[in-house]
């Protein structure tokens, strides 16, 4: 490794294999060599090609697996490099960068994490995750932040909400300004999925750190309202999408009050709210099949008509798929 960067990628790859589980070398050996290895990968993280950067990030993950001592005081510096890597392709950051971020989190100072929060959340809010590995890594990142920095919970939560609200406001303005009915302005569903999964993962890590069971209390606070402004609509859509995701994971407790509120949003005059409510109600009912008969009856009732009937039928389809 000390011979130069030319052969570093191959040697680093071998190094990762050597220390990765289940090899499980004695921790003191890995801690002893870590400073030299980190010195080698520093320029690679900043200047290397995509393949070289991936190898360097894999080294960070492998070292972190041996405890925070292996990264010692280098965590803040490594985080800066990782943010620079994500900045190059925020729409599709490499899974290795997201995983390395999660791995290095426990060694980063809260002060430094606080200073980069706004920039980092702005970058991650643009992420459109299609690759399963990247989607899992993004969730792992937010879980780790919630677990490692409970004192920053509010700023991260508020940042996710603010970025989604700004995205929704731009979409709403474009749709309102579009004079050509033939040109459909697409709803930013990928960004909403990003925000919903991110906020769920953040709370998952936070509750785990507090030794508490996961609860939907915060998400329900977003949907137990009647949206009037554009900002209200954005918040309700976020809460509905996040609740739907939580239901599909089997996290939601059975609640007649919540089911009634989801059904109330199906009757909203805002089409985006109706669509999100139908999907959320369908996933909720899908997680509690005993409630399916009541949903089906309300969807096919003679007094169910218009948008309400359509939304309930949509919820029925979602529930059937989940069941």
User: Which residue in the block uniquely carries the two structure tokens 């400073």?
Assistant: 35
Output the DSSP codes for 160-207: HHHHHHHHHHHHHHHHHH---TTS-----HHHHHHHHHHHHHHHHHHH
Q: Residue 57 and residue 51: Cα distance in Å, rounded?
A: 10
Q: Are residues 291 and 181 in the same domain?
A: yes
Q: Nearest-5° angle of CA 127, CA 249, CA 276? A: 65
pTM for the model stands at 0.89
Q: Residue 40 and residue 35: Cα distance in Å, rounded?
A: 9
* pLDDT surpasses 60 at 130: no
- Choose the final residue of a domain: 108, 126, 160: 108
As for how many domains the chain has, the answer is 2
pLDDT band with cut points at 50, 70 and 90 for residue 40: confident
* pLDDT surpasses 80 at 46: yes
Task: Give per-residue pLDDT as tens, 234-258.
Answer: 999 999 999 999 999 999 999 999 9
The answer as to whether 72 is a domain residue is: yes
pLDDT band with cut points at 50, 70 and 90 for residue 184: confident
The answer as to whether 104 is a domain residue is: yes
Q: Are residues 150 and 86 in the same domain?
A: no
The answer as to whether 121 is a domain residue is: no
Distance of CA 36 to the CA centre of its chain: 34
* Burial classification of residue 36, based on how many CB atoms lie within 10 Å of its CB (0-12 exposed, 13-18 middle, 19 or more buried): exposed
Q: Are residues 203 and 319 in the same domain?
A: yes
pLDDT band with cut points at 50, 70 and 90 for residue 180: low
Q: Are residues 200 and 62 in the same domain?
A: no
Question: Quick one: which H or E segment has residue 79?
Answer: helix 75-88
pLDDT higher at 8 or 10: 10
40 to 4, 5, 6, 48, 146: CA distances (angstroms): 8, 8, 11, 12, 31
Output the DSSP codes for 241-277: HHHHHHHHTT-PPP-HHHHHHHHHHHT-S-HHHHHHH
pLDDT given for residue 278 in this prediction:
97
pLDDT given for residue 138 in this prediction:
87
- Choose the final residue of a domain: 88, 108, 128: 108
Q: Are residues 90 and 155 in the same domain?
A: no
Q: Mean pLDDT over residues 293-317, rounded?
A: 86
The answer as to whether 183 is a domain residue is: yes
Comparing C-alpha atoms, which of 20, 10, 14 is closest to residue 63? 20
pLDDT given for residue 1 in this prediction:
64
Encode burial over 166-191: b for 16+ CB neighbours within 10 A, e otherwise: ebbeebbeeeeeeeeeeeeeebbebb
pLDDT band with cut points at 50, 70 and 90 for residue 3: low
* pLDDT surpasses 60 at 19: yes
Q: Identify the domain containing residue 58 by its residue range.
A: 1-108
Q: Mean pLDDT over residues 127-145, rounded?
A: 80
> What CATH number corresponds to the domain at position 280?
1.25.10
Q: Are residues 146 and 98 in the same domain?
A: no
Q: Mean pLDDT over residues 173-202, rounded?
A: 87
Q: Are residues 289 and 239 in the same domain?
A: yes
pLDDT given for residue 83 in this prediction:
92
Give the tokens for residue 113.
């994490």
pLDDT given for residue 25 in this prediction:
82
Q: Mean pLDDT over residues 108-134, rounded?
A: 83
Q: Residue 60 and residue 185: Cα distance in Å, rounded?
A: 42
298 within 8 A of 312, measured Cβ to Cβ: yes
Distance of CA 296 to the CA centre of its chain: 32
Q: Are residues 169 and 270 in the same domain?
A: yes
The answer as to whether 1 is a domain residue is: yes
- DSSP code for 21: T
Distance of CA 260 to the CA centre of its chain: 27
The answer as to whether 172 is a domain residue is: yes
CB neighbour list of residue 149: distance below 8 Å, 6 or more residues apart: 105, 110, 113, 156
Q: Are residues 151 and 104 in the same domain?
A: no
Q: Are residues 83 and 207 in the same domain?
A: no
- Choose the final residue of a domain: 108, 125, 155: 108
pLDDT higher at 178 or 232: 232
pLDDT given for residue 81 in this prediction:
92
Q: Are residues 190 and 258 in the same domain?
A: yes
Mean pLDDT over the full length of the chain? 89
The answer as to whether 7 is a domain residue is: yes
The answer as to whether 131 is a domain residue is: no
Q: Are residues 156 and 300 in the same domain?
A: yes
């Amino acid at each position: 490794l000390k011979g130069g960067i030319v052969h570093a990628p191959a040697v680093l790859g071998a190094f990762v294999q050597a220390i990765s589980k289940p090899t499980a070398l004695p921790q003191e050996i890995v801690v002893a060599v870590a400073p030299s290895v980190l010195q080698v990968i520093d320029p690679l993280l900043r200047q290397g090609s995509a393949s070289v950067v991936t190898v360097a990030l894999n080294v960070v993950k492998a070292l972190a697996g041996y405890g925070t001592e292996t990264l010692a005081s280098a965590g803040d510096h490594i985080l800066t490099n990782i943010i620079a890597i994500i900045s190059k392709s925020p729409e599709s950051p490499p899974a290795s960068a997201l995983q390395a971020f999660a791995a290095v989190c426990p060694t980063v100072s809260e002060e430094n994490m606080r200073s980069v929060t706004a920039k980092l959340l702005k970058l991650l809010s643009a992420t459109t995750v299609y690759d399963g590995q990247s989607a899992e890594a993004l969730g792992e990142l937010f879980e780790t932040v919630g677990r490692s920095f409970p004192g920053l919970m509010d700023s991260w939560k508020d940042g996710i909400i603010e970025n989604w609200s700004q995205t929704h406001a731009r979409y709403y303005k474009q749709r309102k300004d579009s004079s050509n009915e033939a040109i459909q302005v697409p709803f930013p569903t990928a960004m909403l999925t990003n925000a919903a999964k991110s906020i769920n993962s953040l709370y998952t890590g936070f509750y785990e750190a507090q030794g508490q069971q996961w609860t939907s209390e915060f998400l329900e606070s977003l949907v137990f309202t009647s949206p009037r402004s554009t900002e209200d609509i954005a918040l309700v859509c976020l809460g509905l999408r996040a609740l739907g995701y939580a239901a599909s994971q089997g996290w939601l407790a059975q609640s007649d009050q919540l089911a009634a509120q989801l059904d109330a949003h199906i009757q909203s005059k805002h089409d985006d709210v109706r669509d999100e409510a139908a999907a959320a109600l369908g996933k909720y009912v899908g997680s509690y099949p005993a409630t399916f008969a009541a949903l089906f009856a309300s969807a096919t009732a003679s007094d169910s008509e218009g948008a309400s009937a359509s939304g309930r039928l949509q919820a029925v389809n979602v529930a059937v798929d989940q069941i």
